[in-house]
Amino acid sequence: MTWRIWFCAPIGILLATPAPALAEKYTKKTLDMQGVSVPVHAAPQLRAKAGAKTGPVLLTLEQFTEWKQANIQKYTDKQIAQLRQLIALASPDDPKLPDYWFRLGELYSEKYRYWNNRARSLDEKIFRAKQDEDAGSAEPERREQKEDAQKADQSLLKAVSQFTTAARYPRYERMDEVLYRLGYLLRSAGHEEQAREISHRLLKDHPQSRHVPDAYLAFADDFFAKGAMAQALVFYG
């Protein structure tokens, strides 16, 4: 309330001042300003660089999508930093800790998808260069793909680590979701045996979870990949 009183006080004084006094006060100031010359350089103008194009810059859909995704990654990095700070400040018995770890795993999963998609987006250009027997022309893309794939692998391992930590809190209310996402990432990383153990834990400890059908499908896919069609049909059914 104090700031409102101070803000309104000058207005009250102004309204209480007789009109002739106001007219004399502000008219004199206005008249005095009439004799003051304003230098030309007082309002600098922005100059376009020589050869620079003017007007709006048009982006292709691919460029716009890449720009948008890059901005999302900056926001994701900020969220990761904030969560890590919350984890560092939390006490060991803080009930919010498992949720912090789970959300951190989600963010690293998002970064994994981002870098993996970037790496895969270069497949076509590299393949075409190889088909045209001009593999050297795609060397920059090949190096970029390798860097993106490495970043994807790093993000995947970090996501697995965060979900594994969250899975150490058996009373966490979203444990079934933790197990489902952990199993999926382990399969993505090529650790099928560990993924099956996690899926089995999901089916055993959370039979009412909405992720149970996904766990059965994962088992079916594993058997199908091994050529064990009878077992695969059991889980597909």
The answer to whether 185 and 153 have CB atoms below 8 angstroms apart is: no
Q: Does residue 141 sit in the same domain as residue 179?
A: no
In a domain, 4, yes or no: no
Q: Which of 173, 198, 218 is the last residue of a domain?
A: 173
In a domain, 150, yes or no: yes
Query: Would you state the pLDDT for residue 129?
Result: 86
- pLDDT above 90: residue 174: yes
In a domain, 37, yes or no: no
**Number of domains present in the structure of the chain:** 2
Q: Does residue 108 sit in the same domain as residue 132?
A: yes
Q: Does residue 129 sit in the same domain as residue 193?
A: no
Give the range among 41-50, 117-126, 178-187, 225-234 with minimum mean pLDDT. Answer: 41-50
pTM: 0.70
Question: Coil, strand, or helix at residue 105?
Answer: helix
Query: Would you state the pLDDT for residue 134?
Result: 78
Q: Using 50, 70 and 90 to split pLDDT, how confident is the model at 1? A: very low
Query: Would you state the pLDDT for residue 152?
Result: 95
Q: What is the mean pLDDT of residues 42-50?
A: 45
Query: Which residue carries 């959370």 as its tokens?
Result: 206
Q: Which of 173, 204, 224 is the last residue of a domain?
A: 173
DSSP per-residue codes, 139-168 = HHHHHHHHHHHHHHHHHHHHHHHHHHHHTT
- Whichever domain contains 217, its CATH number is 1.25.40
- pLDDT above 50: residue 33: no
In a domain, 21, yes or no: no
Query: What whole-number distance in Å separates Cα of residue 105 and Cα of residue 181?
Result: 9
What tokens were used for 196? 């099956």
In a domain, 11, yes or no: no
Q: Which of 145, 173, 201 is the last residue of a domain?
A: 173
Query: Would you state the pLDDT for residue 234?
Result: 83
Query: Would you state the pLDDT for residue 20?
Result: 40
Q: How far is CA 195 from the centre of its chain?
A: 26
The answer to whether 129 and 135 have CB atoms below 8 angstroms apart is: yes
Average pLDDT across the chain, whole number: 79
Q: Does residue 169 sit in the same domain as residue 181?
A: no
Q: Does residue 156 sit in the same domain as residue 204?
A: no
In a domain, 124, yes or no: yes
Q: Does residue 72 sit in the same domain as residue 169?
A: yes
**Which tens digit of pLDDT belongs to each residue from 122-152?**
998 888 888 887 777 888 988 999 999 999 9
The Cα angle at residue 153 between residues 149 and 156, in degrees rounded to 5: 135
Q: Does residue 222 sit in the same domain as residue 187?
A: yes
Q: Does residue 84 sit in the same domain as residue 136?
A: yes
Q: In terms of residue numbers, what domain contains 217?
A: 174-237
**Which tens digit of pLDDT belongs to each residue from 193-230?**
999 999 999 999 999 999 999 999 988 888 888 888 88
Q: Does residue 197 sit in the same domain as residue 115?
A: no
Q: Residues with Cβ < 8 Å from 148, sequence gap 6 or more? A: 115, 116, 118, 119, 122
In a domain, 115, yes or no: yes
Query: Would you state the pLDDT for residue 52?
Result: 54
Q: Does residue 179 sit in the same domain as residue 142?
A: no
Query: What whole-number distance in Å separates Cα of residue 121 and Cα of residue 11?
Result: 63
Query: What whole-number distance in Å separates Cα of residue 20 and Cα of residue 87?
Result: 67
In a domain, 26, yes or no: no
- Length in residues, the chain: 237
Query: pLDDT higher for 7 or 59?
Result: 59
Q: Does residue 81 sit in the same domain as residue 130?
A: yes
Q: Does residue 185 sit in the same domain as residue 161?
A: no
